[in-house]
């Protein structure tokens, strides 16, 4: 199986396990394997954030698309644009024209995460300390850490000075997240600490998105 | 009269070595930076979009209907791409040599634009200096410092590590977001200012305009507000784990606001004068100081 065929399979997979052929290809191809992992991560994010819709709303995809087009990551040709008007999904266009699928997946992940954080902010404070375990922020932190690892790994080849800056700032945000988490654990009713915690998650998400965007300057 | 002729006596093989060394030294020196100058005729209020990786970006205004771009590359690893579509000018640093690193990617720009131009500037590191441009301005940096003077319109700055200084900014609104960069607003004439930073410090030195909305939040950094004697504002200041120090002569809130201040936080709220402007200062662990400019020396 070739990469192009694998991408076509991935488009249609919709949460089902990979076929034997596709799994064999993914095992050999690092790029396709990373793409499959990214998509799985996005699906996990969407579920863990318990957004009422299984799929992000259209406006989220519209934002993802606008961002990707602006960044030059995707270019939808006129023929695809026509097809889209006829009802074809734009996501197919991305896979046809994407230059860096892992980056697309990360962008999508960040935007889904941001949407999830906005939703989380509206959740009232838990009534009891035991409810804390149910706060999705713990999963959010795990997901953000995964995205951080992926982003930092993507940046390894770019400007080392900027990488150092980025790592320093991520450390600052991570430290602040840790402080807020401690405050929330100690005082579950502390609405202020919760708000700062969610704000810090959002800051981290935005910082990662900015890092990705800047890493592409001049390409 | 005797003249002395000094002569270096060098044997031929050594001369060859010298020549080889001189040649390799010449080749090792990067190409001399030579500026590239481009001019774009524009109508009305142009939009200038500039994307750079690293370098100094200086923008200023003039009264000609023209955008002038002077780009100086530090090496042959980068070049300038420009495009004009109507009144939209796009300038982008193109990385020619993908293996180039650090200083080799530096491109400095001097851009002169009509006063009412809109700017969208994006750079990783270096600095951005803008003077006397009054269109809407957007800056997006990772580590570049942003220095604005006498600018107007709607100003939006997003940075991770860069500092932001806005001196005599006069426009509709100012919005800054940073992770660790400090933000300073000196004598601003703007009635909507929003600043959020995770670890940077915030300094506001100026008068609050009537009906202005001012929102400053530094999660772990310090916030300092120096207000003038004629200021009139409703104040809410709250730091969950830091101190709140105020020289403002606060009166009980005159507008019946329903303020939710956490029980454990250090907080102040009330009205100065008639309470025309609204000032909100928040921090998680930083110190908040609200100082009367005339008495600033007394509180350090």
What residues contact residue B69 under an 8 Å CB cut-off, 6+ apart? B37, B38, B39, B40, B80, B82, B89, B91, B109, B110, B111
Within a domain: B151: yes
Query: Looking at the predicted structure, is the pLDDT value of residue B144 above 60?
Result: yes
What would the mean pLDDT of B158-184 be, rounded to a whole number?
95
Q: Residue A150 and residue A103: Cα distance in Å, rounded?
A: 9
Tokens of A135: 């706060």
User: Cβ–Cβ of A210/B199 closer than 8 Å?
Assistant: no
Q: Residue B124 and residue A92: Cα distance in Å, rounded?
A: 32
Chain A positions in Cβ-Cβ contact with residue B180 (cut-off 8 Å): 168-169, 172
pLDDT in the model for residue B21 = 44
Query: Looking at the predicted structure, is the pLDDT value of residue B215 above 80?
Result: yes
Summarize pLDDT for B173-204 with one digit per residue, the tens. 999 999 999 999 999 999 999 999 999 999 99
Within a domain: B101: yes
Within a domain: B16: no
User: Cβ–Cβ of A160/B102 closer than 8 Å?
Assistant: yes
pLDDT in the model for residue A107 = 63
**What CATH number is attached to the domain comprising B213?**
2.160.20.120
Within a domain: B211: yes
- Closest B-chain CA to A204: B179
The pTM of the full predicted model, rounded to 2 decimals, is 0.72
Q: Residue B126 and residue A83: Cα distance in Å, rounded?
A: 44
**Residue keyed to tokens 């713990």:** A138
Nearest 10 degrees: Cα torsion A55, A57, A61, A63: -150
Chain B positions in Cβ-Cβ contact with residue A219 (cut-off 8 Å): 95
Low-confidence ranges of chain A (pLDDT < 70): 11, 14-15, 38-39, 41-140, 155-158, 214-219
Within a domain: B110: yes
Q: For residue B160, give the nearest of A165, A176, A217 by CB distance.
A: A165
- Closest A-chain CA to B199: A172
Within a domain: B253: yes
Instruction: Residue B197: give the domain boundaries.
Output: 32-298
Query: Looking at the predicted structure, is the pLDDT value of residue B166 above 90?
Result: yes
Number of structural domains in chain B = 1
Summarize pLDDT for B94-120 with one digit per residue, the tens. 988 877 777 888 999 999 999 999 999
């Amino acid at each position: 199986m070739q990469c192009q065929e694998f991408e076509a399979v991935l488009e249609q997979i919709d949460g089902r396990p990979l076929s034997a052929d596709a799994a064999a290809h993914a095992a050999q191809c690092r790029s396709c394997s990373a793409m499959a992992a990214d998509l799985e991560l996005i699906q996990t994010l969407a579920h863990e954030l318990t957004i009422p819709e299984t799929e992000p709303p259209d406006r989220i995809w519209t934002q993802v698309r606008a961002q990707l087009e602006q960044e030059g990551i995707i270019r939808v040709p006129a023929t695809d644009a026509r097809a889209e008007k006829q009802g074809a999904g734009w996501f197919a266009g991305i896979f046809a024209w994407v230059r860096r699928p892992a980056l697309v997946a990360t962008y999508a992940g960040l935007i889904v995460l941001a949407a999830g954080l906005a939703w989380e902010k509206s959740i009232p404070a838990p009534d009891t300390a035991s409810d804390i375990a149910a706060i999705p922020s713990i999963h959010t932190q795990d997901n953000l850490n995964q995205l951080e690892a992926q982003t930092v790994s993507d940046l390894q080849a770019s400007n080392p000075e900027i990488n150092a800056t980025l790592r320093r700032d991520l450390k600052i945000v991570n430290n602040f997240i840790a402080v807020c988490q401690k405050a929330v654990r100690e005082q579950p009713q502390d609405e202020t600490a919760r708000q700062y915690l969610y704000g810090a998650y959002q800051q981290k998400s935005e910082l990662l998105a900015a890092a990705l965007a800047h890493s592409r300057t001049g390409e | 009269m005797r003249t002395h002729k000094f002569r270096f006596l060098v044997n031929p093989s050594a001369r060859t070595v010298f020549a080889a060394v001189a040649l390799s030294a010449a080749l090792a020196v990067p190409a001399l930076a030579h500026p590239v100058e481009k001019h774009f005729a524009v109508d009305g209020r142009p939009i200038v979009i500039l994307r750079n990786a690293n370098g100094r970006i200086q923008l200023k205004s003039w009264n000609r209907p023209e955008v002038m771009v002077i780009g100086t590359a530090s090496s042959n690893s980068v070049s300038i791409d420009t495009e004009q579509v109507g009144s939209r000018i796009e300038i982008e640093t193109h990385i020619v040599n993908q293996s180039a690193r650090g200083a080799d990617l530096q491109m400095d720009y001097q851009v002169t634009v009509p006063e009412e131009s809109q700017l969208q500037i994006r750079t990783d590191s270096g600095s951005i200096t803008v003077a006397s441009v009054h269109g809407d301005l957007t800056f997006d940096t990772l580590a570049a410092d942003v220095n604005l003077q006498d600018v107007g319109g709607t100003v939006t700055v997003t940075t991770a590590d860069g500092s932001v200084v806005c001196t005599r900014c006069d426009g509709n609104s100012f919005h800054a977001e940073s992770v660790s960069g400090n933000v300073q607003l000196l004598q601003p004439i703007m009635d909507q200012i929003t600043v959020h930073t995770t670890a940077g410090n915030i300094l506001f030195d100026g008068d609050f305009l009537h009906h202005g909305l001012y929102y400053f939040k530094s999660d772990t950094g310090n916030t300092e507000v120096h207000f003038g004697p004629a200021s009139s504002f409703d104040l809410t200041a709250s730091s969950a784990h830091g101190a709140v120090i105020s020289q403002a002569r606060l009166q009980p809130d005159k507008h019946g606001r329903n303020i939710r201040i956490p029980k454990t936080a250090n907080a102040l709220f009330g009205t100065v004068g008639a309470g025309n402007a609204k000032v909100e200062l928040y921090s998680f662990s930083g110190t908040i100081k609200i100082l009367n400019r005339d008495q600033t020396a007394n509180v350090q």
